[in-house]
Structure 1
Amino acid sequence: MQSRTIVRRALLVAAIFLAAAPVRGQGTASSFTGHTYQPGIDVRDYDIRIELPDTGSFIRGDVTITARRAPGVSTLTLDLVDGLAVRGIEVNDRAIGPVHAHDRIEIPLGTVGGDSVSVRVRYDGRVTDGLVVLKDAQGRWTWFGDNWPNRTRQWLPTVDHPSDKATVGWTVRAPASRTVVANGTLLGVRALRGGMSETRWREAQPIPTYLMVIGAGPLVSVPLATSGCAQSNVSRCVPQSVYVMPENRDWLPGPFAAAAPIVSLFESLVGPFPYEKLAHVQSATRFGGMENATAIFYAYDLFPTRRMSEGLIAHETAHQWFGDAVTEREWGHLWLSEGFATYFAALWTQRSRGDSAFRAEMAGIRRQVLEDSVVARRPVIDTAQTNYLALLNANSYQKGGYVLYMLHHQLGDSAFFRGLRSYYLSHRHGNALSDDLRVELERASGTSLRQFFDQWLRRPGVAAPSIGWAYDAADSTISLLVLQDSTRGAYELPLTVAMSFASAPPSRVDVRIPAQPRATITLPGRFPTRPVSMSFDPDHLLLARIGQP
């Protein structure tokens, strides 16, 4: 399929599917399904109360966890670093002695009746990670949550794993001169004695703990225009705003003028925005951008240096659907978050800057994949990697995004976006693994994709076929000899062959290379003369290094 038609046709397909598709959500499966980190425990809600100081990193926390437990489960384990002192624990309003060691709180549930439990943890101490506390050059103190991948435990007692999503409420007491932003809807701000204020936010949809954040500092909020909202949902334009330090206000909206059209495009391709609002926040984060649900945090220096880009905004916004609403159940499937954000950012490039820019972006991604040493050594689905920060690599981002690009070309607009939409609706506000995506794309296309997913996602490296050809003048046919190294398994490849002739127009044909170490394929059609030249994968759509035998 030619790239100039990708987004245009996809919007029509998505609009038709949106009207026809049922909303399936999380279905009727047990709420404990997939909770491998802490089997038999399902946290439903966190009610978090945090008190921030005027200066420094000493915080006081009071967190109530509401959870369900499966029959026979006698312990709830919360992750919290030992550097924070637990002052008290209550289980269903009854005090118990704190058992806090090895960065965990072990809470006995043996005497608790029923399958629901409420646990309250009071604690305090100086935070050194997770909540980033900084004083800038002008002497202004700021506090920003920065939890990915499992650093929530550095400042909050939680089941700190993406498989256990929950709703969250925030009550933050801070100096009145600080603006507080967090997940969800702002419920109110009230003045307190002693120059303090209390700000309350509430996120009504379940999110993983690594996305549960606050930001506090001398921030100003700049609302963004809602022009460009999705036509299918004009009654509910997503409210968006930018929180910045005061000196950066005059630069806005800048690239954030694209924020509403970006949401509109992704709504058209996937479905309505899954949350209450979207804030874009100048923050302190170790990442260029962090996709916290409803409150994206961007690196501080991108604002004063004016290096913020539409591409980064599109990438982080795409995460609100893929990564936030549909969260990978295990870290080894991170490409379901980062690969999607990479490809959808490229689709925004196509919408905003045209086909040439889109093709150039995908070509650059392809070059990165082919040249990357991690890609050569490790698979995209990397469940053996226990250093989760090491998963922020070209496999999760560039190769994952390019795999979606190849799937899109192979399946076509209709099946591809129908499958993505079904995958999203099936797992929205829940978790998914790579095979969940495969199943939905197979249903949408009527095609088995096991070989595709295995070869591109579960093997290191890329395809490296050697292809030779021969012309048979007796019957005017051309045959290909394809050799593949079977050490890691041969690839099944949809291959375009371009031919040029001395006295005839150039020609293209498409053939399928089987996943075999050695294959001979006869090209379809008759060719009266021998080609002057042959080119394999002339548009460089495959993640492949093609050589000669």
Structure 2
Amino acid sequence: MPRLLLLLIVLIFSHTAFTQVVYDRNEGADVTKYTFRLSLNDSSNVISGEATIDVTFSESPEKFKLDLIGSNGEYGMKINEVREGESAANWTFEEDEVIIYPSNGASTASFTICYSGIPERGLVIDKTKFGKRSFFGDNWPTLARHWLPCVDHPYDKAAVEFQIHTPAHYDVVATGKKIEESYITTGYKLTRYYEPAPVATKVMTIGVCEFASEVLGYVDNIEISAWVYPENRLEGFSDYAVAVEVMEYFIKNIGPYSYAKLANMQAKTQWGGLENAGTIAYRESSVTGKNEVEGLIAHEIAHQWFGNSASEDSWNHVWLSEGFATYFTILYLENKYGDATRRQELVKDRREIIEYYGKNPSSVVDYSITDAMNVLSTNTYQKGGWVLNMLRHKIGDEVFWNGIRRYYVTYRNDNAVTEDFQKIMEQVYGESLEEFFRQWVYTVGYPELRTSWKYKKGKVMLKTQQVQDHFTFDFPLEIGLVYGEEIQKQTITINSRSMEFELPADTEPDNVIFDPDVWMLFKEVK
């Protein structure tokens, strides 16, 4: 296919199919606060809940909708009552949505949903690996609706308060700062946490089990703590202690932290780690006492800035969360251990990208995906991280970091899509980045490059050929002329299928290395 025609198709597709993971939004409505009152017990897995949702309206709505998975056999929630303020609300329940018809044209309203049932997902009610009963919120991406009436999409974030009634033997940690712990009746207690910063439901959580906890330290007056199973007390406190150092790095280099605390919690979770806002969950097996989870901890803490505070407005742009967390983990490790670690991590990620592409040819922003459960892939993690690595190399470290900081401060506690990030980086860089984002974010694949070289009369003669069949990439490529322990570097620009270059060289090099410092995503083809 001619390149110009393909570029036109990419442009048309990217602008007409803006979001393919469809969610029917409450237009003109903004949830400002959730208050979730939950009663948990040891006799059954039935939970009893009362959720109050405070809403601000910019226009008089005909209806307001909340997600909640209804009762269907053993699992799901039964609604017992819906109130608007102190009065009975006008409401219906259809296809796992609570549909409320507000009674007047007021600019604010408060709705309360009383419900009960057994959640099939979202709230994991299980035994820990040590056989102790536990309750863990595990909402990502759209599982909050299994146990919380809510707008279950990151576009509408809100402050949240959890009021958890439990048997007295449990310890409770949740999104926000603890504001109360009271033994209210014999054998039971109430624990309350409140987070004033707006949080998406995907990263709201609770953890209820027998914990050992320790304050690991403070950064900018933010308490950083570890919550682990008592049987793993010493190992867990040791493994999670690096969170203080990680927090210092990100606050210093990106900007202020948004949440009331940072708890690091050993948990039952379907993920290796889940970046819940201010209360991160790590898989049970993360605790070993061998301090092997520094990269995992850095990834989940990076999410507090990217994904949690600056959130994707559309699920198809989830690389703004996962790609960022992947690369900012590498940046943290590079800062601590040196550039060799950056190169090592990126070489590994590049291998995974190439292997994934062989089975799943798709782009970073993939508008063909229609289910939020399917948006995560090697593209959104590793390739998204590689996009940032190449962008950093293109515009330089100072401009890159200035752009990152401006992007964060602009979209802190807000939402963005890729076009928003691109615009911020263009403002700081002072030039268009349209071609860069089109190639690396919206186009399938990467350059597949066949190369050869020879030395002739003071020159290294290079030949390059792009052999991928769908697109011709335009990119800079660093060339390393190897002389023993020394590498002399020069940069060429590849923008055609077949190209020849002459590089000055006084003597014949021992070898020629393409991309010696690991800045470019491409596949070498023999």
Deviation at 1:414?
0.4
Partner of 1:73: 61
Q: Classify the secondary structure of the residue corresponding to 1:44.
A: strand
- Which amino acid in structure 2 is aligned with residue 383 of structure 1? Y
- Which amino acid in structure 2 is aligned with residue 513 of structure 1? I
Cα distance change on mapping 1:479 and 1:442 into 2, 3 Å: farther
Partner of 1:425: 409
How big is each residue's C-alpha offset from its partner over 1:508-549, in whole Å with a ceiling of 9 and x where there is no partner?
3212223x445x46557x55677776443234432112447x
Partner of 1:497: 479
**Partners of 1:304 and 1:467 in 2: how far apart?**
46
Cα distance change on mapping 1:507 and 1:52 into 2, 3 Å: closer
Cα distance change on mapping 1:538 and 1:355 into 2, 3 Å: closer
Aligned pairs (5 A) from 1:102-501: 102-109=95-102, 111-136=103-128, 139-226=131-218, 229=219, 236-303=220-287, 309-373=293-357, 376-467=360-451, 482-484=464-466, 487-499=469-481
Cα distance change on mapping 1:522 and 1:373 into 2, 3 Å: closer
Cα distance change on mapping 1:510 and 1:176 into 2, 3 Å: same
Deviation at 1:370?
1.8
Deviation at 1:192?
1.1
Partner of 1:512: 493
Checking the alignment, whether the CA contact within 8 Å between 1:370 and 1:543 is kept in structure 2 is no
Ranges in structure 1 where 5+ consecutive residues have no aligned partner: 1-33, 230-235
How big is each residue's C-alpha offset from its partner over 1:304-346, in whole Å with a ceiling of 9 and x where there is no partner?
6867511111111111111111111111111111111111212
Checking the alignment, whether the CA contact within 8 Å between 2:390 and 2:520 is kept in structure 1 is yes
Q: Classify the secondary structure of the residue corresponding to 1:396.
A: helix
Cα distance change on mapping 1:178 and 1:480 into 2, 3 Å: same
**Partners of 2:446 and 2:347 in 1: how far apart?**
15
Please point out which of 92, 99, 108 is paired with 2:85.
92
Please point out which of 25, 31, 37 is paired with 1:37.
25
Please point out which of 43, 47, 51 is paired with 1:63.
51
**Partners of 1:102 and 1:530 in 2: how far apart?**
72
Structure 2 length-normalised TM = 0.88
Deviation at 1:359?
2.3
Worse overlay, 89-98 or 46-55: 89-98
**Partners of 2:303 and 2:282 in 1: how far apart?**
14
Partner of 1:20: none
Cα distance change on mapping 1:338 and 1:174 into 2, 3 Å: same
Deviation at 1:156?
0.5
**Partners of 1:411 and 1:506 in 2: how far apart?**
23
Checking the alignment, whether the CA contact within 8 Å between 1:258 and 1:310 is kept in structure 2 is yes
Q: Classify the secondary structure of the residue corresponding to 1:192.
A: strand
- Which amino acid in structure 2 is aligned with residue 456 of structure 1? W
Partner of 1:27: none
Please state which structure has a larger fraction of its residues in strand: 2
Cα distance change on mapping 1:179 and 1:432 into 2, 3 Å: same
**Partners of 1:156 and 1:330 in 2: how far apart?**
21
Checking the alignment, whether the CA contact within 8 Å between 1:376 and 1:462 is kept in structure 2 is no
Aligned residues: 499
Deviation at 1:174?
0.8
**Partners of 2:210 and 2:168 in 1: how far apart?**
10
**RMSD value, Cα:** 2.6
Structure 1 length-normalised TM = 0.84
**Partners of 2:85 and 2:461 in 1: how far apart?**
75
Deviation at 1:431?
0.5
Q: Classify the secondary structure of the residue corresponding to 2:471.
A: coil
Please point out which of 508, 516, 519 is paired with 1:541.
519
Deviation at 1:302?
2.4
**Partners of 1:243 and 1:480 in 2: how far apart?**
57
How big is each residue's C-alpha offset from its partner over 1:6-55, in whole Å with a ceiling of 9 and x where there is no partner?
xxxxxxxxxxxxxxxxxxxxxxxxxxxx9963332221111111111124
Q: Classify the secondary structure of the residue corresponding to 1:285.
A: coil
